Amino acid sequence: MIKLAFFDTKPYDRIWFDKYCDDFDISIKYFESKLTEDTAVMARGCKAVCAFVNDDINKNVIDVLSENGISLVALRCAGFNNVNLKAAKDKIKIARVPAYSPYAVAEHAIAMLLCLNRKLHKAYIRTRDFNFSLSGMTGFDLHGKTVGIVGTGKIGRVFADICKGFGMKIIAYDPVCTDGSLEYTDFDTICQNSDIISLNCPLTKENKHMINEKTISKMKDGVCIINTSRGGLIDSDALLEGLRNKKIGSAALDVYEEESELFYEDMSAETDRDEKLAMLLSMPNVLITSHQAFLTNEALENIASVTLDNVKSFFDGEELKNEVKY
């Protein structure tokens, strides 16, 4: 039986991994701790490690895992910007779950857009206090608006399909993936012409802080920015300034560039809080969720089955079709 060290465990993870692990002849040792240089040694005695988006798989972690006999890191996520692939080369194989449920993420992005635009978060609180005033609750029709989609992989294409249903005009930017049904343009044109910009792309060295002071200055006044991908795509300081001077009308964020020690944890009792995040949370035109766009039963089931299949395939000597290579 293959022993798997599972880091950053949450109760919703165990439901599906416990259900399927026996089918793949895998036993799982769960750890609530994130995978870091200090915790990597806890994987000793296992053959593989299962990690998530906020685990830090840097060179030192790779070295510790390798020294302790770990030959595979199975990411239970699509993104891999938290992995030092160069350090892992020739030491440890890296696999991921490339598409667990594009519908989950795309639908969450739309839900955040609708909530912000129609002030549903405000209405929920207001009516619970028996305040039925409509002052300050005006939104806008999505029909006829231009949405700029950055990244047209599976999630971006599902998001585009939903936007078409609302009667929105779609323009797209993606240097890699193309879809014949979409109108493609460059990122500057996305900034200049979009009423809504949705980020649906992975984080790379090339696109880090693609939303910055310069690109924000090119955007329409009152633009809505949605990010359900990775926090590092947006420069938080530039975002805050854009919100303050009303260049940005609203922001829907499921991710934050300094989220690794915050998201997925209950930080309500902490007094030493991230100042930028606190400022964003204080703004009435900002909606933040804690990297939960993926969180549906269908996605969690797919994550578990694909991750476990990656592990079994590797140790059975089969092709590791979801391998991430340097």
Count of CB atoms situated within 10 Å of the CB of 131: 10
Distance between CA atoms of residues 239 and 106, nearest Å: 22
Count of CB atoms situated within 10 Å of the CB of 226: 26
Buried b (16+ CB within 10 A) or exposed e, 207-223: bebbbbeebbeebbeeb
Question: Is 209 tagged catalytic?
Answer: no
Question: Is 259 tagged catalytic?
Answer: yes
Question: Is 258 tagged catalytic?
Answer: no
Q: Do 211 and 234 contact (CB within 8 A), yes or no?
A: yes
Q: Out of 76, 157, 209, 291, which one is annotated catalytic?
A: 291
Q: Out of 108, 230, 258, 275, which one is annotated catalytic?
A: 230
Q: Phi/psi at 285 (nearest 5 deg)?
A: -105, 20
Tokens representing 103 are: 């519908």
**Regarding beta strands 146-150 and 169-173, do their DSSP bridges make them parallel or antiparallel, or are they unpaired?**
parallel
Residue 269 CA to its chain's centroid (Å): 25
Q: Out of 257, 259, 265, 323, which one is annotated catalytic?
A: 259
3-state class of 319 per DSSP? Answer: coil
CA distances (Å), 103 to each of 79, 156, 296, 297, in order?
16, 10, 9, 12
Strand-pairing partners, residue 226, are: 198, 252
Q: What residues act catalytically?
A: 230, 259, 291
